Chains A and B, each alone.
Chain A
Amino acid sequence: AQSVTQPDIHITVSEGASLELRCNYSYGATPYLFWYVQSPGQGLQLLLKYFSGDTLVQGIKGFEAEFKRSQSSFNLRKPSVHWSDAAEYFCAVGTTSGTYKYIFGTGTRLKVLA
């Protein structure tokens, strides 16, 4: 079955430190992969996406993600975290099995220490 796993429910980092949020997917075909961010009381904002081509994709707010097919992973990274990055981050795979829809991971809540 198709699934997305975000192994870390909570992550705490200090401001200025680097960040990596993990995402693993289970999907038989070439996945369409996304990272979204949800700030408190807000909707889901698209950070970046991967469909094909260069496996390192750049997104908004200084985020990047790397697709590794061999590891079925799409980890999100940022070299230096800002306090405003505190939010919940969701990885999603777009599945074309049947009608196209998203399957979301359970999310990782990021806390940033000043």
Chain B
Amino acid sequence: DSGVTQTPKHLITATGQRVTLRCSPRSGDLSVYWYQQSLDQGLQFLIQYYNGEERAKGNILERFSAQQFPDLHSELNLSSLELGDSALYFCASSPTGAGRLTQYFGPGTRLLVL
């Protein structure tokens, strides 16, 4: 158990809908990262937040957005969902200082868009 939690574990929805994925980082970790794992794209970095502020963006679609709240939990919002958005979405967290180089992953949320 990495200490990173994600809810829900599974999500089934329809095209055009909007969903919210939630992540709670390890206690004390200020950085949260979101990754998408799909069969055709592999593991792709989406976005990073640090202490409530966006730090970096990767291959994140404009239909997707994220935020990190004062209690450091983070939410990834996916809207106007398409079939191709079906994937496993991981959240990871890392501490500050030298420890920031290592990311600890949650169990993921499996999204199925029908």
A-side residues, CB < 8 A to B, are 32, 34, 36, 42-46, 49, 51, 90, 94, 98-107
Contacts and interface: CB of A to CB of B under 8 A. Distances in A.
A43 B56 CA distance: 22
Interface residues of B, number: 23
Contact of B48 (A43, A99, A105, A107): A99
Given A45-B2, A101-B58, A102-B35, 16 more contacts: A34-B102, A36-B105, A43-B2, A43-B105, A43-B107, A43-B108, A46-B104, A46-B105, A49-B102, A99-B55, A99-B56, A101-B33, A101-B48, A101-B56, A104-B42, A107-B42
A44, A51, A100 pick with most chain B CB within 10 angstroms: A44
A46 B48 contact: no
Nearest to B58: A101
The 10 residue pairs across chains A and B that have the minimum distance between CB atoms: A99-B56, A104-B43, A44-B105, A43-B107, A43-B105, A101-B45, A106-B42, A32-B101, A99-B55, A43-B108
Interface in B90-114: 90, 92, 100-108
Contacts of B101: 32, 49, 51, 94, 100
Contacts of A103: 45
Interface of B is mostly: strand
Nearest to A36: B105
19 contacts: A34-B102, A36-B105, A42-B107, A43-B2, A43-B90, A43-B107, A44-B90, A44-B92, A44-B105, A46-B102, A98-B56, A100-B100, A102-B33, A102-B43, A102-B45, A103-B45, A104-B44, A106-B42, A107-B43
